[in-house]
A and B are shown apart, each in its own frame.
Chain A
């Protein structure tokens, strides 16, 4: 740690040499009137200023280098510009267009790659505050599910996992501020520990990015970025409240932020409380039994969340350094019939739809993240360090029948204590006309201890690391090559795990060996090459060929017990080799004034794809069918995404997304499990042409989702019927001086459809998804500048 600070100090001192320059400019609206109050923001240093009453802005003390400027103002389209400061000041004028629902091109410099969309061959999308505000969902992942190729795998309303191009679990990465989120990704009913309120900017990459993120980044990456900092000497505060009828969810959040000279601080608290969710059914059929659902609710699916996050940062002309600390706490019940086979007595109404009874889970996720971006000579050094602690406890009644007798003294079935230390170092050499290089290094260490009366996951220590080199070269402003190579290692230490055996009197009569313990060392190389070719002002073509890899997860190597998420006795195999994939994807983007079309078919071939193979041999454990063994086979996963935005008349916007995935185990000849069926999602949005001084926009939206039946289910999965959902949403933003009020209302599943989602946890029990759901959300935020006391001003 000491060396690290020394290194950083060295870089800092190094960067303060030489002369600095200023960037000035003026901002106008379309009519040529100057705009006061627009925010001008340097992406690299996170420094921002606000234009004065004459529309002027001034960014002082900028070191020579390559920068991205963002100019934002409520009610106007954001402007993005790239500037190179070489040896002179820069003065520029910008004209801002009023924001409408016109077709926009995404800017994706948020990405590790820091490129514009056209220069990048990958399928990258940026989701901002505005998108998230318009797409409500029970969790953060539900909010993203309206994008084509994105699906949710959920357990009730509070637990959700992302699915990208049909990949899920350990084949999708969620990263927060540069650090890969490490929880229990392998488990179906283990949700993502992210506060939905605390997400403002998200980058979504579809396709393999093992090159940049290492093992597991096969299906794609969901990367949550740090929110933009405020302009110098200003502060903001916001409160938001949300209510959902389907599970009587009451959520609220409060946050405060300030930028005092070069220091930024932020603080947020949020909480959610929800009850058992309502379904449009009063019975369900499981194993040929007809079981009741009292009061149209799924008993014990209630839960709560208590989250906070805080950060403090320093940003100056050399870059920025920000430390974020967060804690997410979730307690959520499992449907009473979901552990072991459902039995009628468990389903009787307990008279309280908001309590959480056994079985339930508690998850506490702590994260400390330190992000640095430092200007060094011609490049930028990014250093992200993170520590995470994931504590997950699953509570249930011990099953005392069968051969493994368990004394009645504890309700803790599983407890996993996982600590993860991670570090990422990247050095960018970026200039507008030369090759853009990125050198990257990363390392991660994990330490897990398990306990509880059941066994699923052993104690383990896992060290992995890698190094990559990436380059981007542009020719004639319309052809860009992206290429990279990477080398990785992984060292897994799986420790011996024994559990006591009891007799019927509760005395220990021996031990039962769950895993003997073993070590695994793997080295891997992978690479990627992509081309982006802008044919003309309308069309862009992109190709990618890449290889991906995945180190077998700990469960895949050593599980031996019933995973309640799947009702299956899952058995690991310590001899699994790593999963290798070759992937091709192709993207056609066409932008016109009135429409945008993006078509992206993809094709993956896997060697040694790891999957759960039904063995045909029965588990000796009660409540379990046959043993599913982690096995390997060659497989293919292929499909497409089609996105189409049409803007036929002013203020009307029709956005359609289509996706389909087909995946097959080539050795056995049957479809891979947990593949979402094809879907078509359409939003028809109309922005009302009334726009008063205080009203910054009102929209009405019709949301539809059509899902095909999954008639190619995995082995022992049931086929799932298709369905069609209809929703309606409206929202309005009011702004007066620094105060902004945002009001939204939405109705989901308006027709109260009874439907099941093929990849959801409760699908196994034939339980339907929530019925009609009305949502109302209200946000107040206030932002304003302030003047520091004189003494402080003098100094600056």
Chain B
């Protein structure tokens, strides 16, 4: 028994020794020179990620993960209306020191707002280091929201079981063909309660409801099932392709 214990103790201490001598547990060190924390970039410009990474033994790879820190609730829907400037770059490294200046062009219509820049680095034995920065993307090309004028129903109107909503929705940069209005939403709102009547966007279903050239919007809606009678706001919300948005509403009565 004693012998077994002794041999166990020997293997045990050998294990400890192995750790001390053999295993590389040291993570690479990343120095991120650029961008600086809370840096601001213009859409249409170039973002430079400038870093130095070192390791005690041998570097293996780095990864830059750039992604929007926008409100996650609308992320899925808006992300494809407004191409988020999400980028993943993975490249190999070698040696013990590497300097990288990665230039990432930012589309002029990229989705503005807060972003995270994360730089990861690994060494050959899988030790991983990570460093992150918050940056902001600002849109200087177009900062003017669309304009909405609701023409029907009229303020104070009583709605029937089906009704027409008409409006003129225009944007500063609308030129008839490029389609600068990206999405339109029609809602009935009473306090915290919302009834979505319709959601329209350029890529899917503007169809005959909206004409970019004239800004004319017209659509017949049915009264939502189970809606109780009372005064509601009929609201139209519109986004342009630079993420500027506005809404306009009229008070109506559901009998």
**Which A residues fall within an 8 A CB radius of B?**
287-289, 341, 343-346, 397-403, 405-408, 504-506, 543, 584, 586, 601, 603, 613-620, 622-623, 625-626, 636, 638, 662, 664, 666, 668-671, 712, 715-716
Asked if B19 and A712 sit within 8 Å, CB to CB, the answer is: yes
Asked if B72 and A626 sit within 8 Å, CB to CB, the answer is: no
Pick the contact of B204: A341, A505, A617 (CB < 8 A): A505
| Chain A residues within 8 Å of B72, by CB | 343, 345-346, 397
User: How far is A625 from B90 in the complex, measured between Cα atoms in Å?
Assistant: 11
Is B50 located at the chain interface by the 8 A CB criterion? Answer: no
- The interface bits of chain B over 1-42 (1 if a CB of A lies within 8 angstroms of the residue's CB, else 0) are 100110010011001001101110101000000000000000
CB distance from B126 to the nearest CB of A (A): 3
Asked if A400 and B203 sit within 8 Å, CB to CB, the answer is: no
- The interface bits of chain B over 77-109 (1 if a CB of A lies within 8 angstroms of the residue's CB, else 0) are 101100110101010000000000000000000
CB distance from A393 to the nearest CB of B (A): 19
| Chain A residues within 8 Å of B122, by CB | 614, 616-618, 625-626
| Chain A residues within 8 Å of B152, by CB | none
Asked if B61 and A617 sit within 8 Å, CB to CB, the answer is: yes
| Chain B residues within 8 Å of A586, by CB | 1, 4-5
Determine the interface band of chain B, counting residues with CB < 8 A from chain A.
Answer: 35 or more
Asked if B118 and A341 sit within 8 Å, CB to CB, the answer is: yes
Known: A397-B75, A406-B76, A626-B63. 13 other contacts (CB 8 A): A288-B132, A289-B132, A346-B72, A402-B86, A584-B8, A614-B126, A620-B90, A622-B65, A626-B61, A662-B12, A666-B18, A669-B21, A716-B27
Asked if A400 and B63 sit within 8 Å, CB to CB, the answer is: no
Asked if B120 and A345 sit within 8 Å, CB to CB, the answer is: no
Most chain A Cβ neighbours within 10 Å, of B84, B122, B131: B122
Enumerate the 7 nearest inter-chain pairs by beta-carbon distance, A residue then B residue, closest first: A614-B126, A669-B22, A408-B76, A401-B86, A669-B23, A616-B60, A670-B23
| Chain B residues within 8 Å of A617, by CB | 60-61, 122
User: How far is A668 from B25 in the complex, measured between Cα atoms in Å?
Assistant: 10
CB distance from B251 to the nearest CB of A (A): 28
Provide a sorted-by-A list of 21 A–B residue pairs whose CB atoms are within 8 angstroms. Answer: A287-B132, A341-B132, A343-B69, A397-B73, A397-B75, A400-B75, A401-B84, A406-B76, A505-B80, A603-B8, A615-B126, A616-B124, A617-B61, A620-B88, A620-B90, A625-B120, A626-B126, A636-B15, A638-B12, A715-B25, A716-B127
| Chain A residues within 8 Å of B4, by CB | 584, 586
| Chain B residues within 8 Å of A662, by CB | 12, 15
Asked if A622 and B86 sit within 8 Å, CB to CB, the answer is: yes
User: How far is A623 from B2 in the complex, measured between Cα atoms in Å?
Assistant: 52
- B114-151 interface with A by 8 A CB criterion: 116, 118, 120, 122-128, 130-132, 134
Pick the contact of A618: B8, B63, B69 (CB < 8 A): B63
Asked if A345 and B19 sit within 8 Å, CB to CB, the answer is: no
- How many A-B residue pairs have C-beta atoms within 8 angstroms? Tell me: 136
| Chain A residues within 8 Å of B67, by CB | 401-402, 622-623
Asked if B120 and A400 sit within 8 Å, CB to CB, the answer is: no
Asked if A616 and B8 sit within 8 Å, CB to CB, the answer is: no
CB distance from B255 to the nearest CB of A (A): 34
Pick the contact of A401: B11, B27, B68 (CB < 8 A): B68
With both beta carbons as reference points, the residue of chain B lying nearest to A602 in the complex is identified as: B8
Given known A-B contacts A341-B118, A403-B88, A616-B125, A398 and B18 have beta carbons under 8 A apart: no
CB distance from B205 to the nearest CB of A (A): 12
Asked if B126 and A601 sit within 8 Å, CB to CB, the answer is: no
User: How far is A618 from B90 in the complex, measured between Cα atoms in Å?
Assistant: 7
Asked if B19 and A670 sit within 8 Å, CB to CB, the answer is: yes
User: How far is A287 from B133 in the complex, measured between Cα atoms in Å?
Assistant: 9
CB distance from B224 to the nearest CB of A (A): 21
| Chain A residues within 8 Å of B15, by CB | 636, 662, 664, 666
Pick the contact of A402: B88, B118, B120, B123 (CB < 8 A): B88
User: How far is A398 from B79 in the complex, measured between Cα atoms in Å?
Assistant: 11
| Chain B residues within 8 Å of A620, by CB | 88, 90
| Chain B residues within 8 Å of A397, by CB | 72-73, 75-76
- The interface bits of chain B over 174-208 (1 if a CB of A lies within 8 angstroms of the residue's CB, else 0) are 00000000000000000000000000000110000
| Chain A residues within 8 Å of B132, by CB | 287-289, 341
Pick the contact of A625: B8, B18, B84, B130 (CB < 8 A): B130
User: How far is A343 from B65 in the complex, measured between Cα atoms in Å?
Assistant: 14
Asked if B18 and A664 sit within 8 Å, CB to CB, the answer is: yes
Asked if A287 and B69 sit within 8 Å, CB to CB, the answer is: no
Asked if A664 and B90 sit within 8 Å, CB to CB, the answer is: no
Given known A-B contacts A601-B5, A618-B90, A671-B19, A505 and B73 have beta carbons under 8 A apart: no
| Chain B residues within 8 Å of A625, by CB | 63, 120, 122, 128, 130
Asked if B128 and A614 sit within 8 Å, CB to CB, the answer is: yes
Asked if A616 and B123 sit within 8 Å, CB to CB, the answer is: yes
| Chain A residues within 8 Å of B80, by CB | 400, 405, 504-506
| Chain B residues within 8 Å of A613, by CB | 126
Asked if A618 and B61 sit within 8 Å, CB to CB, the answer is: yes
| Chain B residues within 8 Å of A406, by CB | 76
Asked if A345 and B71 sit within 8 Å, CB to CB, the answer is: yes
CB distance from B31 to the nearest CB of A (A): 13
User: How far is A670 from B127 in the complex, measured between Cα atoms in Å?
Assistant: 11
With both beta carbons as reference points, the residue of chain A lying nearest to B25 in the complex is identified as: A670
User: How far is A526 from B233 in the complex, measured between Cα atoms in Å?
Assistant: 74
Asked if B128 and A716 sit within 8 Å, CB to CB, the answer is: yes
User: How far is A620 from B64 in the complex, measured between Cα atoms in Å?
Assistant: 10
Asked if A616 and B19 sit within 8 Å, CB to CB, the answer is: no
Asked if B79 and A400 sit within 8 Å, CB to CB, the answer is: yes
Asked if B8 and A345 sit within 8 Å, CB to CB, the answer is: no
| Chain B residues within 8 Å of A344, by CB | 69
User: How far is A668 from B22 in the complex, measured between Cα atoms in Å?
Assistant: 8
CB distance from A237 to the nearest CB of B (A): 44
CB distance from A457 to the nearest CB of B (A): 24
CB distance from B138 to the nearest CB of A (A): 18
| Chain A residues within 8 Å of B71, by CB | 345
| Chain A residues within 8 Å of B130, by CB | 287, 625
CB distance from B7 to the nearest CB of A (A): 9
Pick the contact of A287: B5, B8, B131 (CB < 8 A): B131
| Chain B residues within 8 Å of A505, by CB | 80, 203-204
Given known A-B contacts A397-B73, A614-B122, A712-B19, A638 and B8 have beta carbons under 8 A apart: yes
Asked if A626 and B120 sit within 8 Å, CB to CB, the answer is: yes
CB distance from A131 to the nearest CB of B (A): 32
With both beta carbons as reference points, the residue of chain B lying nearest to A617 in the complex is identified as: B61
With both beta carbons as reference points, the residue of chain B lying nearest to A636 in the complex is identified as: B15
User: How far is A221 from B236 in the complex, measured between Cα atoms in Å?
Assistant: 62
| Chain A residues within 8 Å of B120, by CB | 618, 625-626
User: How far is A669 from B79 in the complex, measured between Cα atoms in Å?
Assistant: 45
CB distance from A120 to the nearest CB of B (A): 19
| Chain A residues within 8 Å of B125, by CB | 614, 616, 668, 715
User: How far is A584 from B8 in the complex, measured between Cα atoms in Å?
Assistant: 10
Most chain B Cβ neighbours within 10 Å, of A601, A619, A626: A626
User: How far is A662 from B18 in the complex, measured between Cα atoms in Å?
Assistant: 13
CB distance from B200 to the nearest CB of A (A): 15
User: How far is A278 from B70 in the complex, measured between Cα atoms in Å?
Assistant: 27
User: How far is A305 from B116 in the complex, measured between Cα atoms in Å?
Assistant: 37
Most chain A Cβ neighbours within 10 Å, of B65, B68, B86, B124: B65
